[in-house]
Amino acid sequence: MYFNLRKRLFWVLPCLLLLISCDSEETHQKTKGLQPPFDLSDIQDRVEKPFTANFKCKETPEPIHDLHFNSMYSKASKNSSEVDQEAYAKYLRDTENIKILESQLTVMGNRYLMSWPHRIEIAQCMLNWMDDWAIADGFMGEANHMGEFVRKWALASISLAFLQIRSEENLDEDQKIRVKDWIHRLTAQVIADFSRKPEINSRNNNHMYWAVWGVANGAVVNNDQEQFNWAMKQAKRAISHIQMDGTLPTELIRGKKAYNYHHYAAIPLFYLAQIAQANGINLYKENDHGLQRLAKRLLLNIDDQSYFQTLTGKKQDLTRTITYSNLVWLVPYYKEYKDPDALKLLRQFHPVRHSRVGGNAVFLYGKTKSYEND
C-alpha cells in the first residue's frame, strides 16, 4: 500500500507542480506592470559589434536646478524659423551640462547593453550620474517657457537610460530608489507644465508630443498607470492632428522649416506607438492610420519638397533634416509597415540614432543587427 501511494505521488506531484507553475506565470503576466518601449530579452543577438574597450567613469556634469534659457530663434521670427546665431550660441553654453548628461547616459546605456556579459561598472556609472542629479533636485527648480521644453526632452533621455539598466541586479538599491523617485517627480512636473495654457502652440505641436513621450517612459520607470494613461490620452489627441494628406497643421506654420519639423514631430509620435504597442494599445489604427499617412507624406518629399513649398509659400530649409537622428522615426514605422522606401533610407543612414529615443534605434527597437538582408 505504501509503495502504491508513493507510486501515485510520483506521477501526481509533477502535474501539481506544473499547474502551480502555470498559474504563477499567468499571475506574473497580470502583475508584471508597464513595459518599456524596447524588448531586451534577446539583446545579445542584436549586438553588431560588442563593446570591449576600456571604460572609465567620468565626473558627473554639474547638476542644473533652475531652468531659465533663451530660444535659439530670432525674436523677430513669429513662426520660430529664423535662427539667431548669437542666441543659439548662448543657449548651447547654458545647456551644455544637460546635453552632456543626455548624450553620455545614452552612450553608456548602449555600451552596457552591447557588452556581454553586461559590464556593471558602466551601469553603476550611469546610476551615479543620475543619483547626483537626483540628490541635487536637477531640473526641478523654476523654469521659463524654454526651460519647460528642456525639462521634457531630458525626461525622455533620462528615463530611457534608466530603463536600459534597471534589470541589473548588482546596482546600489538606495541609489535606484532615489533616482526612481526623482524621475517620478520629474514626470509629474512635465505633466503639470503641459497641462497649463492648452491653447498655446507648444501644447499642440511637436513640443507636446515630446512631452508625452517623456511622460510615457517616466511612467514605465515607476509603473505609474495614471501617468501612463495621461500619456496615452494625449498621444491619441496628437495623432488626431494628422490631416488626410499626412501633414500636421501646427508644423506647417513653421514656414521654411515645416518639412524639417514634420520629421522632428514624427519621432515622438512613432515611438509613442511603439511603447503603446508594448503595453497592448494600438496607436497605429488611430485617426484612420494617421501615422502611416504622416510617414508616406515625409517619404514622398525626401527628394522634392515642393508640396511643402506650395502649402507654406516658402522654399524649405533642409538644414539638419535628412540625418541619422531626424530619420530615427523610420525604425518603428518600418517595423509596422515594411515600407521599401523606409528600408532604403534605413540602409543608407544605418544606424539611425537619437539620444531621446535611447540611442541606437536599430539596436534597441529594430531587428537583429542591420537591415542588409531585408
The string of pLDDT tens digits covering residues 323-354 is: 999 999 999 999 999 999 999 999 999 999 99
pLDDT at site 366? 84
Question: What does the pLDDT average to over 152-177?
Answer: 97
Beta carbons within 8 Å of 214's beta carbon, 6+ residues apart: 152, 153, 154, 155, 156, 159, 187, 190
pLDDT at 25 over 70: no
Grid coordinates in use for 227? 501617468
pLDDT at 67 over 90: yes
pLDDT at site 19? 38
Confidence of residue 61 (pLDDT cuts 50, 70, 90): very high
Evaluated on CA atoms 345, 349, 351, 356, the torsion sign reads negative
Q: How many CA atoms lie within 13 A of 100 on its CB side?
A: 14
- Residue length of the chain: 374
Prediction pTM value: 0.90
Find where cell 531652468 sits: 67
d(CA 124, CA 134): 15
Per-domain residue ranges of the chain: 56-207, 240-374
For 359, phi then psi, to 5°, come to 110, -130
Confidence of residue 368 (pLDDT cuts 50, 70, 90): low
Question: What does the pLDDT average to over 297-318?
Answer: 97
pLDDT at site 358? 98
Residue 353, H or E segment: strand 353-354
Confidence of residue 116 (pLDDT cuts 50, 70, 90): confident
Would you say 248 and 254 are in contact if contact means Cβ atoms under 8 Å apart?
A: no
pLDDT at site 340? 96
d(CA 283, CA 280): 10
pLDDT at 266 over 80: yes
pLDDT per residue as tens digits for the range 129-159 = 999 999 999 999 999 999 999 999 999 999 9
Please give the CATH number for the structural domain made up of 240-374: 1.50.10.100
Instruction: Output the average pLDDT for the chain.
Output: 90
pLDDT at 252 over 80: yes
pLDDT per residue as tens digits for the range 178-222 = 999 999 999 999 999 999 999 999 999 999 999 999 999 999 999
Q: What is the CA radius of gyration of the chain?
A: 23
pLDDT at site 12? 38
Question: What does the pLDDT average to over 208-237?
Answer: 98
d(CA 106, CA 109): 5
Closest to 261 measured CA to CA, from 190, 334, 204, 194: 204
Would you say 314 and 258 are in contact if contact means Cβ atoms under 8 Å apart?
A: yes
d(CA 55, CA 42): 24
Label residues 43-65 b or e (16+ Cβ within 10 Å = b): beebeeeebeeeeeeeebbebbe
Question: What does the pLDDT average to over 227-246?
Answer: 98
Would you say 268 and 210 are in contact if contact means Cβ atoms under 8 Å apart?
A: yes
d(CA 129, CA 59): 8
Extended strands (E) in 150-228: none
pLDDT at site 9? 37
Would you say 252 and 258 are in contact if contact means Cβ atoms under 8 Å apart?
A: yes
| 56-207 is a CATH 3.30.420.40 domain | no
pLDDT at site 189? 98
Q: What percent of the chain has pLDDT over 70?
A: 89
* Other Cβ atoms within 10 Å of 263 Cβ, number: 25
Asked, colleague to colleague, whether 56-207 and 240-374 share their fold, the answer is yes
pLDDT at site 83? 83
pLDDT at site 84? 86
Which contacts qualify for 307-314: CB closer than 8 Å, 24 or more apart? 308/247, 308/252, 308/258, 308/259, 308/262, 311/247, 311/252, 311/258, 312/252, 312/254, 312/255, 312/256, 312/258, 313/255, 314/81, 314/255, 314/256, 314/258
Lowest mean pLDDT among 222-226, 364-368, 369-373: 369-373
pLDDT per residue as tens digits for the range 279-294 = 999 999 999 999 999 9
Lowest mean pLDDT among 10-24, 81-95, 133-147, 306-320: 10-24
Lowest mean pLDDT among 37-51, 101-115, 119-133: 37-51
DSSP 254: T
Beta carbons within 8 Å of 217's beta carbon, 6+ residues apart: 36, 37, 155, 156, 159, 160, 163, 275
Residue of higher predicted confidence among 225 and 20:
225
* Other Cβ atoms within 10 Å of 144 Cβ, number: 14
pLDDT at 2 over 60: no
Question: What does the pLDDT average to over 318-322?
Answer: 94
Q: What percent of the chain has pLDDT over 90?
A: 82
Residue of higher predicted confidence among 150 and 74:
150
What are the residues facing 143 on neighbouring strands? 67
For 143, phi then psi, to 5°, come to -145, 140
